[in-house]
Each structure stands twice: as C-alpha cells, then as structure tokens.
C-alpha cells in the first residue's frame, strides 16, 4: 500500500509540473494575440484550480488542517509524502511546514523508523532547501544507531552529505543542551 501512495504523490507532482510548464509555455506567447492571452489565462486557471488536489491527495489545505489537529491518518499521509519526496512548485516549503507540524505530534515506533530513513536519504541525496528542517526534526526520532549513522556520514562523506550530516548532529546536540562545535 505504501508504494501505491508514493506513486500517487509522484504522479500528481508530475501532473502539476506539466500544468505549470503549460502556463510558462503560454506566457511566452500571450502577447501575440487575444487568443494567445486567453490560452495563457486558461492554462493559469487550470494550474490554480488543480493545485490543491494534486499537491496532496484529498487536498493540501485539508491535509494541513487535519495535520494541525493531530489526525493520525493525516500524520501517516504526511510521512508518506515525505517518503515519496515529490517535487513540484512550492513542494519544499510544504515539506518544511509538514516537518514543523509533525514535531508537535506523537509518532509510533514504526513512523519514527520511517522518518529516520527519510532523514538519512535526504542527508545523502542532492541538496534540498528543506534539509535544515529535516535536521531540526531529527531529535524527535533519534536513536543511538541513527546518531552513529549520521556521525559516520559526517566523518566519511564528502561535500553536501557531510555538511548535512553535521547539521543533523548540531540539532541533536542542541536538543540535548550539548554545546555545538564551531
């Protein structure tokens, strides 16, 4: 079932990007004629109309409302969203917001395990704007094994992976009240 949900996130993100690209495509032509302007407006309207439902199954605004309320299904769907890691216009901002909200709610052991895996994947993956939010989230799900894996990456990886791992370590130390290294 998890894989199916991930496919939904990815498929929706792909559709959103197609709609966004259509807006940009039509934007370049809009000044040619009133028909081109109308086509651009239609593309923009389609993007705005479909955005909420494609950004998150069941609606992005509904998901945030339920997540703020601590709805257990919304919490699990938010974790699935982070696992799927869809990319579309503004998705990084939503990931940051989701991580902030998830920090406020209890997670099951299984959900914590899944989030540790997500954080490790993001540390190792290409840089993303929401990496600091993942680092700030890490203390909520940390275990000695997780900290050992993060430390190993910080000490043995190159470039962004080492830097991202250090951000996680700094947040873990800060959460414990341990002084951070310069």
pTM confidence score = 0.87
**Residues 49, 50, 54, CA angle at the centre, nearest 5°?**
150
Report percent pLDDT > 70 for the chain. 94
Is residue 154 classed as helix, strand or coil in its secondary structure?
helix
Residue 105, judged by CB atoms within 10 A of its CB (0-12, 13-18, 19+), counts as middle
pLDDT attached to residue 181: 54
Using the predicted structure, report yes or no on whether residue 3 has a pLDDT greater than 50: no
Residue 19 has pLDDT above 60, yes or no: yes
Stretch 103-125: mean pLDDT: 97
Domain definitions of the chain by residue range: 1-106, 107-182
Per 3-state DSSP, what percentage of the chain is helix, strand, and coil (rounded to 5)?
80, 0, 20
Q: Please, which pLDDT band fits residue 180 given cuts at 50, 70 and 90?
A: low
d(CA 28, CA 6): 33
Q: What are the residues whose beta carbons fall under 8 Å from the beta carbon of 35, sequence distance 6 or more?
A: none
- At 43-83, the pLDDT tens digits run 999 999 999 999 999 999 999 999 999 999 999 999 999 99
Residue 103 confidence (pLDDT) above 90 = yes
- 134-176 pLDDT, tens digit per residue, is 999 999 999 999 999 999 999 999 899 999 999 999 999 999 8
> Model confidence at 128, in pLDDT bands (50, 70, 90)?
confident
């Amino acid at each position: 079932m998890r894989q199916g949900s991930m496919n939904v996130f990815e498929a929706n993100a792909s559709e959103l990007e197609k709609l966004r690209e259509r807006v940009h495509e039509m934007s370049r032509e809009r000044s040619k004629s009133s028909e081109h302007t109308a086509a651009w407006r239609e593309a923009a309207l389609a993007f705005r109309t479909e955005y909420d439902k494609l950004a998150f199954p069941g609606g992005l605004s509904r998901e945030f409302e339920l997540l703020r309320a601590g709805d257990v299904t919304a919490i699990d769907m938010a974790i699935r969203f982070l696992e799927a890691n869809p990319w579309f216009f503004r998705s990084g901002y939503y990931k940051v917001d989701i991580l902030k909200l998830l920090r406020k709610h209890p997670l099951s052991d299984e959900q914590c395990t899944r989030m540790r895996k997500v954080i490790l994947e993001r540390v190792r993956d290409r840089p993303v704007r929401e990496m600091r939010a993942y680092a700030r989230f890490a203390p909520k799900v940390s275990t000695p094994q997780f900290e050992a894996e993060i430390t190993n990456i910080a000490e043995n990886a190159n470039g962004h992976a080492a830097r991202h791992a250090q951000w996680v370590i700094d947040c873990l130390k800060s959460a414990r009240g341990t002084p951070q290294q310069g």
